[in-house]
Amino acid sequence: MKVKIQKFNPAKDAKPYYKTFDVPWKKNMTVLEALMYVYENLDPIAFDYSCHGGRVCGRCSMMVNGKPRMACTTPIKQGTDITVEPLKGHPVERDLIVDRTEMQDRISSIERRINSKPLEPKDLQRDFDPKIKQKLDDLEWCCRCLSCNAGCPVLNNMSDPEKYIGPAGMRAIALRHYDPNDEGDRVLEAVQNGLFNCILCGECDRNCPASEIKHVEIFKELRAEAEKRGIKH
């Protein structure tokens, strides 16, 4: 099969370019295995991975045939060629490695709890509605691969980055919204970060490796709360 890979070394290339490699297909081969074959036998391409778990480290997310996919768990069908490019929406460090720091730092800062006084572990509410607990457990599955953002048509076509934070940031806001130990006004924060600019298309649900996270469902709940409170968008 042919594996076409976008290559780019910012230190010496004026722009990205593609190189195509012949890779012998084998049963159950994943995109990551094809990249490893190229690396070990044909060209020392740069790519990132760690866990092989599909949704643990989140480091192997990249564009496969134009869609965000986890390289470690994405199978290649017999008789198909693939095109592999770096994950959309981030500066390329080298070949398939991108720098996700900006968005990941933003998510970390959103996920920091807002409280009027610092909470000690003993102050944390742990006994609350099991339905909310389930929601929090589901939202915690995010591995910060940012596949949801890479496939979001709103983010991909937006000229003003202030208009919508994207599904990854919105999930972080929702996590703290449902968290009984957080005192921030997360509905207001969601609206200020473009909650109503999301078109509820569901691409984030389709591209996220964690099926537990129901982006569209939680965005609809946040919208309903904003509307109930009359928060303008």
Nearer to ligand FES, 48 or 138 (CB): 48
| Number of residues engaging ligand FES in binding (CB under 6 A) | 14
If the CB atoms of residues 60 and 222 are measured against ligand FES, the closer one turns out to be 60
Distance of closest approach, residue 74 Cβ to ligand FES, in angstroms: 9
Per-residue tokens: 41: 């036998």
- Minimal distance in Å, beta carbon 71 to ligand FES? 6
Question: 3-class secondary structure for the chain?
Answer: CEEEEEECCCCCCCCCEEEEEECCCCCCCEHHHHHHHHHHHCCCCCCCCCCCCCCCCCCCEEEECCEEEECCCCECCCCCCEEEECCCCCCEEECCEECCHHHHHHHHHHHCCCCCCCCCHHHCCCCCCHHHHHHHHHHCCCCCCCHHHHCCHHHHCCCCCCCCCCHHHHHHHHHHHHCCCCCCCHHHHHHHCCHHHCCCCCHHHHHCCCCCCCHHHHHHHHHHHHHHCCCCC
- Strand-pairing partners, residue 75, are 30
Question: Pattern of binders to ligand FES over 38-57, x per CB under 6 A?
Answer: -----------xxxxxxxxx
Among positions 5, 31, 60, 191, the unique one binding ligand FES when judged by CB under 6 A? 60
- Bridge partners, residue 2, by sequence: 22
Which one, 51 or 231, has the nearer CB to ligand FES?
Answer: 51
Q: Does 34 bind ligand FES (CB under 6 A)?
A: no
114 near ligand FES, rule: CB under 6 A? no
**By C-beta, is 19 or 52 nearer to ligand FES?**
52
Name which of residues 120 to 179 contact ligand FES (CB under 6 A): none
Structure token pair of residue 122 = 């003993």
Between 52 and 206, name the residue whose CB sits nearer to ligand FES: 52
- Give the residue with the Cβ less far from ligand FES, 70 or 195: 70
- The answer to whether 70 contacts ligand FES (rule: CB under 6 A) is yes
In the bound complex, what is the minimum distance in angstroms from residue 70's beta carbon to ligand FES?
5
- Summarize as ranges the residues that interact with ligand FES (CB under 6 A): 49-60, 70, 72
